[in-house]
A = this chain, B = another copy of it.
């Protein structure tokens, strides 16, 4: 029978391998799956490629993961955040590769990866430094860039509730990259405050259908990054 719930965040990420590409949901702290990120730090995989909109703040969550030195490359639209010191240090020291992608192109590349679309054309970034080296093409008299779909080995996502089939609901603007990262990852892991039995969620309101989710794990009281940073928390 289908039951995608796993007992702990550690179990959810036990098989992450060195060199894996990891998509991490969240826009700033909203939707940042802190407990899963901390479990990934504990797990110890190295040479990771992280795909995420931001690069974390303080020394918890994504920033703490980067600080371990186990992230080789970040694919991201906005690595500069208030209270962000970890990323700049490693970046300036040449210890971290950055692929800067416009936010909408990042979102569309992730969706494309999940939807079996290897490449698409977009008007975003045409004529800018971020178009350098990219193929361009004109449709109906306007110039577009070709961009490639993005896939990942794992996605770490924060939802509000899920059922045992992996159907997921989100909370307000914490939804952001969750649904598309679940599509693009071989193994999508979603932490939620509550896992319920299949049938308890209204099929009309499910945001991420279970087919896109491989593991769900209950984190009843997730931490908020801004609170941890305000407390001066450091992980681990």
Interface residues of A (CB under 8 A from B): 108, 112, 115-123, 137, 139-140, 142, 144, 148, 169-170, 172, 202-205
- Contact of B117 with A108 in the complex, beta carbons under 8 Å: yes
Contact residue among B112, B120, B170, B205 (Cβ-Cβ distance under 8 Å from A119): B120
Q: Is B112 within 8 A of A122, CB to CB? A: no
Give complex CA distance A121, B135 in Å: 15
Sample of 13 A–B contacts (CB below 8 Å)? A108-B115, A108-B117, A116-B123, A117-B122, A118-B144, A119-B120, A119-B121, A119-B137, A119-B139, A120-B120, A169-B204, A172-B203, A202-B205
Report copies per complex.
2
Task: With CB as the reference atom, state the residue of chain B lying closest to A144.
Answer: B118
Complex Cα spacing A204 to B205, Å: 8
Q: Chain B residues near A139 (CB, 8 Å)?
A: 118-119, 148
Chain B nearest CB, measured from A150 CB (Å) = 13
**Are B123 and A121 in contact (CB-based, < 8 A)?**
no
Instruction: Select one of B108, B120, B142 contacting A121, CB under 8 A.
Output: B120
Question: What is the bound-complex CA distance between A139 and B151, given in angstroms?
Answer: 14
In angstroms, Cα B172 to Cα A202, docked, is 11
Q: Known pairs A108-B115, A116-B123. 19 more at Cβ < 8 A?
A: A108-B117, A117-B120, A117-B121, A117-B122, A118-B139, A118-B140, A118-B142, A118-B144, A119-B120, A119-B137, A119-B139, A119-B144, A120-B120, A139-B148, A169-B204, A172-B203, A172-B204, A202-B205, A204-B205
